[in-house]
Structure 1
Amino acid sequence: MQAYEFINNLIPPLKLSDKTGMALAWMEEIRTDILPVVDQGNFLGLIREEMIFDMNNAEKLISEVQLDNQMCWVYSDKHIYDVLRVGAEQHSNVVAVLSRDQHYLGVVTMEDSIAAFADSLSIQSQGSVLVLSLFMTDYSLSEISRIVESENTKVLSSFITSDPLDDAKIKLTLKLDKPELRHIKATLERFGYKILDHYQEESGISGEEDRIGNLLRFLDI
């Protein structure tokens, strides 16, 4: 799940000597609105379609454009989570990937990152999703897993998000391998856990669009 594994080789880098008109042609060809700019193997930033349109001069060189997102990059050995984090912080649909000696290797798209993240969370597996609210000091995944497993259910994956209403609390999202949640919810509540929400998936759901859609829904809790 390292960044270099998800480099999209269909997105080429621009050079400073390239013209903005060529950049627009490439964007149209590969159906993107953003491209990386590289000089002698060094990542310089990103150029966006709207920036070129604002200039209204297809003959201008890339070197004459003030580039965006000079810090929109990760090292090649960083986890795909870091790609998602940097992309979100930089408000960019692509993130550059650099070697440890700062050499440009390529870019990873947010679409590919989300698909990889969905795989890591077992989104494609049938089951259900449960969202708990608890204090960080009370968090013990091993204890929660033990309770879930007492109902003959497995925790396939989990992740934590902060509670915007209470800094001391977290939201714990669990992906479970069983669609039926009634007994699990009752057992967790008996042990004092507060359940915020749940999603019971229907059988037959498949495909990349459904998986990514489910992931985004789960993250937007």
Structure 2
Amino acid sequence: MLNFDYFASNIAHYFMTEITEYITNDFKAIDSQDSISTVQSFFDDLHFSHFPIIEEGIYIGSIASEDLQTFDIEKKVIDYKFTLEGFFARTTTIWLDVLEIFAKNHTNLVPVLDESNAYVGYYEIEDIMKFFHETPFLKEPGSILIVKKSAVEYSMSQITQIIESNNGKLLGVFISDLDAQNVEVTLKLSIGAINEIIQTFRRYDYEIISEHEEDNYINNLKERSDYLEKYLNI
């Protein structure tokens, strides 16, 4: 019998896992009174796309390395305050939301502020991806199953019930594609009879997007197609 509360609590814990241990201060934030020349030299030696700027210890935005090429080297960073980008994460931001900040701002560095808006440090994309690779979704052995259904008809509880009713265990799940008509869900399964799970999804009108050697339905269709082709060529 499906224990959905147990599943939900474990998935919530999975997504809420803290990543604050990856906050770094290897390089101090740039001061708004620093010269553009100094900042250009800083970026020349590093791979950062952006870097945080502070004014009297307060984060005021991030400067983009590409923008620096058009700035007057004799001026100060504060003279270009209007060009700074204001994105940041908080120490309480979950890692999926941090990934979203990276993606939306096309950056490889995200400043981190605490709940009092004090600058704490920054995340680097390599560290966050390392964290992602250590999650059970990627680290643990298992099968990836991608299913698709109408956006108004799919049910996450139904999906987990289908898996667990066939003795499957769910390691992770996320919405991999979504539009006005359909939702695509990617699942990581640790154990279970994958063919039975696939057939059960079909009985509930889910389309199977991923390909599986264990899919007897597809294998039977292929065998019949091969037989028909051979027959027609006689």
Relative to the length of structure 2, the TM-score reads: 0.71
Are residues 1:159 and 2:212 paired?
no
**RMSD, aligned α-carbons:** 2.7
Matched residue count: 196
**SS of corresponding position for 1:47:** strand
Partner residue, 2:131: 116
Report the Cα distance in structure 1 between the residues aligned to 2:182 and 2:25, rounded to whole angstroms: 42
CA-CA distance at 1:173 after TM superposition: 1.0
CA distance in structure 1 between the aligned counterparts of 2:209 and 2:53, rounded to whole angstroms: 45
Contact 2:133-2:139 within 8 A present in 1 as well = yes
Deviation string for 1:62-103 (max 9, x for gaps)?
A: 222243312x01221121122122232333222221111111
Tell me the CA shift for residue 181 of structure 1: 4.0
- Specify the code of the residue in structure 2 equivalent to 1:126: P
Equivalent residue number for residue 83 of structure 1? 98
Question: Equivalent residue for 2:114?
Answer: 99
Percent identical residues: 25
1:139-188 C-alpha deviation (Å, 9 max, x unpaired): 33333223223444311000124523xx1432111011159844432332
- The one of the two structures with greater contact order (alpha-carbon pairs below 8 A, sep at least 6) is 1
Give 3-state SS (helix, strand or coil) of 1:138's partner: coil
| Correspondence 1:45 to 2:61 | yes
Q: Deviations over 1:120-145 (max 9, x none)?
A: 45212222211111234433333322
Structure number with higher helix proportion: 2
Is the aligned partner of 1:148 residue 2:174? no
- Where structure 1 has 5 or more consecutive residues not aligned to the other structure, the ranges are 201-221
CA distance in 2, matches of 1:21, 1:199: 57
* Cα pair 2:166 2:192 within 8 Å, conserved: no
Aligned residue among 155, 168, 192 for 2:205: 192
CA distance in 1, matches of 2:212, 2:26: 36
Q: Render the CA deviation track for 1:30-51: whole Å, top value 9, x for unaligned.
A: 4323211011221111112222
Aligned partner of 1:19 in structure 2 is: 35
Inter-CA distance 111–46: structure 2 relative to 1 (3 Å threshold) = same
Aligned counterpart in structure 2 of residue 31 of structure 1, from 43, 47, 51: 47
Which sits farther off after the overlay, 155-164 or 26-35? 26-35
Instruction: Calculate the TM-score normalised by the size of structure 1.
Output: 0.75
